[in-house]
Every structure is written in structure tokens, then in C-alpha cells.
Amino acid sequence: MPSRPPVAIAEFSVSAGGAGPYGITAGPDGALWFTTVHDGRIGRITPGGDVTFHQLEPASSGPSIITAGPDDALWFTEFRSHRIGRITTAGDITSFPLPTPDAGPFGITAGPDDALWFTEANVDRIGRITPDGQVTEFPLPLSGAFPSAIAGGPDGRLWFTMNQANAIGAIGRDGDVAVHPLPTPAGAPVGITAGADGAMWFVEIGTGHIGRITPDGKFDEFALPDRASRPHAIAADGDGNCWFTEWGANRIGRITPDGRIDEHDLPTPASEPHGITQGPDGAIWTALEIGTIARLTAP
């Protein structure tokens, strides 16, 4: 049986349920920044729970994943408006249209080259944008792959999930792409993060696994106790563990580098946890689509 060490969970109501808090990241200003995908806003919450919002235009732009950039601003994808957005900690917003129509940008992360790298889910491309808005796009060798989340790896490449191709990809700065099919069929990987052990960790929403891939392409998979839990996003903490959201089971899980899993039920039923990150206070923060941001403090 998985162990269940005590974890304190606090929930902060930040919006109406229909707004849909989705992506979340630690900002350079000591606060957490998050997206509300359904009403087109970027939110900011302090560790103490104070909340402010910044409205995007149009409100239907669909802000999804958000990350801290190399320029002390926050960068985010606008899935429905097919743009990359930037917001300063003072709230100044800029949006950059993508060259390819209907690209559907989703995942985004800061790269090792002082640029932002992102996935274009609808058109099977990986994009790169500089802080001044110059965009380069790299085609994937697969069609219908639906590239989703993306994260920097220990080898200087950007690693990403291909949800519909059931594979993990890695792209170099020159655009060279390697594809690694998952061992388990229909895994449908989504979230991905760099672990402290020199490997990439990811979730398989389709089969209820947490996966691990080394830079040379070797896989390990760890089954969750409830295979129907639908893990969605994953983030590393400072202690060598990875935390992940279980959208279908209303839980937050934690996995150690050797594959031990513990899970923690969220206080509010059917809260739909999505994005997750470690905050500047050392706690784990997650965005709940019911209109709440949750803070988990582990011993």
C-alpha cells in the first residue's frame, strides 16, 4: 500500500467555477501566476492568498500554460487565439501571433538559449520565440501527434509529450527531433518535467501511469493504484520528488525517484486539478478548475 504522510492542504477561492484556473507557475516576484482558460485572464496569487487579475483581449483567447521567462516576465500560450502572450509583473500584456494559422499553442517553457519553446498541438510543430517576439517553427516527423507539454531537459534539449502519437519527443536547438514511442499502448502522455535524477518524468493520462525517460531513451513506468485517476500535469520539487495532479480522482500524487507513490485527496469534491508547480515558499501549488488555487505543504 502507498504511504500517506501528512500533507496540509489550503484552498483559496480565486474565481467563479466557470473561469477554469488551469496553468500555474512561480513568478520572479515571489507570487504564483495562473491562467483562467475559460474567461481569458491571467491571475496572480501571493503565498498569503491575495489575488489580482489581468484581462486578455479577446476573453475567448484560451490562455493555457504559463511559465516564467528569461526576461523576468511571464509567458503563456493562447490556445484559441493562436498566440503567445507575455505579461510583466506590473501587468503589461503583449501578444505575438504565430506564423502558422490555427496552430493551437499549448505547452510552453523557458529554454537554455534565453528563448521560450512551445508546442503547437494542432499542426505538429514545436515553436521558439525570443523575448522580442521573433518566432521560429520546427515541424515534427509525425502527423496527428498533438504535441502537448514541454520542458527543458538535462541534456540541453527540449522534451515534449505527443499525446496522440503515444510518444515522448526531444528537440535540439537546431530543430533535430528524436521520437521515443511509449512502452504501453494508449498512454496518451500530457505533462512532463525534469527530475532531479537527470531524467524526464511525465504522466500517462490514458493508462494511469507515471513515466520516466532518460536522455538516451530508456523508459520506466509506474502504475498508479487507481488506473482511472487520469493524471494530467507534473512538477518536480526541491527534494527530488515529482508531484502530479489526478484530474479524474480529485487527488494530488507524489512519486519519489525510486517510484514510490503517495496520494492526497483534495478537500473539495470534483475540483478538477490541472496545473501544478512548486511555489517560492517551497509548497506545492495547483490550479483547480472549480475556481480555486490549492496549496499543499508536506513535512
Task: Please identify every residue annotated as catalytic.
Answer: 274
The set of cell numbers assigned to 145 is 501527434
Q: What are the b/e assignments for 7-39, b being 16+ CB within 10 Å?
A: bebebbebbeeebbbbbbbbbebebbbbbbbbb
Report in angstroms the alpha-carbon separations of 261 from 251, 264, 296. Answer: 12, 10, 16
C-alpha cell, 65 = 500554460
The SS3 call for residue 229 is: helix
Distances (CA, A) of 95 to 56, 75, 239: 9, 10, 36
Q: How far is 145 from 160, CA to CA, in rounded Å?
A: 11
The answer to whether the beta carbons of residues 148 and 121 sit under 8 Å apart is: yes
Answer yes or no: are the C-beta atoms of 184 and 228 closer than 8 Å: no
Q: What is the CA radius of gyration of the chain?
A: 17
